């Protein structure tokens, strides 16, 4: 019986990962940056310009988004440490997307490298 770790390892052997050192350039060159973490994780801070689609809804949401229909789009995705992103990249590859990259080490590696993060502005009431 396979474990989640086994599935992630298998996915990582079949996808393209970009190092955190090369991630900023990959993001700049991409058509879309997807954050596949949960909504609360995204809200607590994310890579600037990232679009949020939780891993659990990815296949459904991307299938219903006409702007994401082209299989030639260059997609970069990430999660917290890269496991969910690897599974998401594998799923997108299986759906026929040709240019999918996952950020190795995920958001945690991005932050540890001193890269910028975006946080939603809190509402202020006077």
Residue 124 lies in a domain: no
The model's pLDDT over 20-73, given as tens digits with 9 standing for 90+, comes to 999 999 999 999 999 999 999 999 999 999 999 999 999 999 999 999 999 999
pTM: 0.91
* Res. 122: pLDDT tops 70: no
Residue 106 lies in a domain: yes
Instruction: Please count the structural domains in the chain.
Output: 1
What is d(CA 65, CA 31) in angstroms, rounded to the nearest whole number? 14
Residue 90 lies in a domain: yes
Residue 96 lies in a domain: yes
Burial 86-112 (b: 16+ CB within 10 A, else e): bbbbbbbbeeebebbbbbbbbbebbee
């Amino acid at each position: 019986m396979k474990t989640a770790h086994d599935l992630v390892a298998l996915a990582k052997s079949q996808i393209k990962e970009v190092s955190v050192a090369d991630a900023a350039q990959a993001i700049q060159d991409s058509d879309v940056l997807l954050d596949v973490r949960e909504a609360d994780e995204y809200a607590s801070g994310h890579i600037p310009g990232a679009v949020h689609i939780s891993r659990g809804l990815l296949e459904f949401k991307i299938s219903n988004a006409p702007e994401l229909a082209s299989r030639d789009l260059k997609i970069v995705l990430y999660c917290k440490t890269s496991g969910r992103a690897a599974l998401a990249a594998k799923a997108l590859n299986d759906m026929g997307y040709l240019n999918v990259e996952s950020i190795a080490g995920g958001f945690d590696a991005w932050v540890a490298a001193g890269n910028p993060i975006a946080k939603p502005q809190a509402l202020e009431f006077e």
